[in-house]
Structure 1
Amino acid sequence: MDKRIVLITGSSTGLGLTTAVRLKKMGYTVYITSRTVEKAKKVAEEIGTSCVALDVTDEESVVKAAESIKTKEGRIDILINNAGIPGGFSKPAEIDAAAMKNVFDTNVFGLVSVTHHFLSLLEKSSFPVIVNVSSGLGSFGQVQNPDKIESKVNSLAYSSSKTAVSMLTVQYAKGLPNIKVNAADPGPTNTGENFSNGIQTLEEGSDAIIKLATIDPTGPTGCFFNRDGIIPW
């Protein structure tokens, strides 16, 4: 059986990088991505994976990345939409439409662009899987539960963008019945970048992503998981 081929957006640092390293060790053929080819090559050489330049906010970049993978592999089996930005931590009253658009360009429209242009490669797989990296901060159930850490955070742009990711997951799962499509909540993870106050390690934060990326054909679709199991939308 051929190795399963994984493409991970936003994987030159943080959770994406940790996910790439773990999947490589598990025997998967992994393509990491970064916005510049120089950064992608540097990181790929360090961890022993393949790479492609991909900026999710630049459609031409997405198309070129898809064409490159098509030429090299002919397909992908697993797409992990990990690229995302927090967009700062301003108070809701200070956030205008431009700030919202900046976050949605990466977290929402970027995800749609990548999914759209890589669908033809996923359809070449005998068992295609999509994992959308969402967040408990986009879960109505989590942010309205006073017992959850997510309820203590007020992040207008980021949270609403991740809620959109969750709905995209449900709609893709309904509209693409031959592809397993799920959302992963990494949880409050210390990425060493934008989220340095997280209480989980990168390894713990990537658990849900790994679990959903490595499901078998009997696995779920249209569901939202953290490392402990299903969470509410």
Structure 2
Amino acid sequence: MEDPPWNRWRHDVFGDPYTVWHEGPEYSRLIELAGTAPADVARMLAAGLDAQDSLAAQSIAALAGEGPAPQDAEALLRAALAGATEEFLVRVAQALHVVTGDEAWAGPVASVLTSDASWGVRLDAARVLEEFTPTTELIGTLAEGVRDEDYLVRYHSANTLLRYAGRRNGVADHHTLFDKVASPPEGDATETDRDKWRQAADQLTALASPRTTGG
């Protein structure tokens, strides 16, 4: 069976899929092509969204951050929301935030953080929420993330709350907090460990400050 055009283009522009997943996407070639062949880039990114490939949404966000978004980007992203779940939903909402500037797109991202998606998807949601303006609702959602059963979800939720509090250093540099978030160092969590997570969530909630966006 012939490889779909999006898959071939994706490989040509970004490289090996495993490397993209492991190292993160590198957008320099995409940005170059957007300057020389914008219609082709827009067409291929639309195909990527049709394939529900998160990289297509991330690419639109990257291009919008560099300058004008691809033609019809908002309409394409909104259409992609239908049936979007987990990582793809996070990345489409992230791109819509970049394209529109609308803070309401935090809602879909937050819903994934507190869902039963895999831990890798939930931690990505916690990281993406750093890009949004802190609100009472988002702080509460991230506090739930600090109480998550998975360590990396707790870790990244704590980091985003620290960013909301205006702290540059991550939770690993706040040793008392980190010891609570990282408990237990090995083995299964106990109620004592979960109580430490709750304490950390309460401390971070007190540090973070909701802000309004005007209007």
What TM-score do the two structures reach when normalised by structure 2?
0.30
Structure having the higher helix fraction is 2
Structure having the higher strand fraction is 1
RCO (CA 8 Å, sep 6+): is it higher in 1 or 2?
1
| Greater radius of gyration (CA) | 2
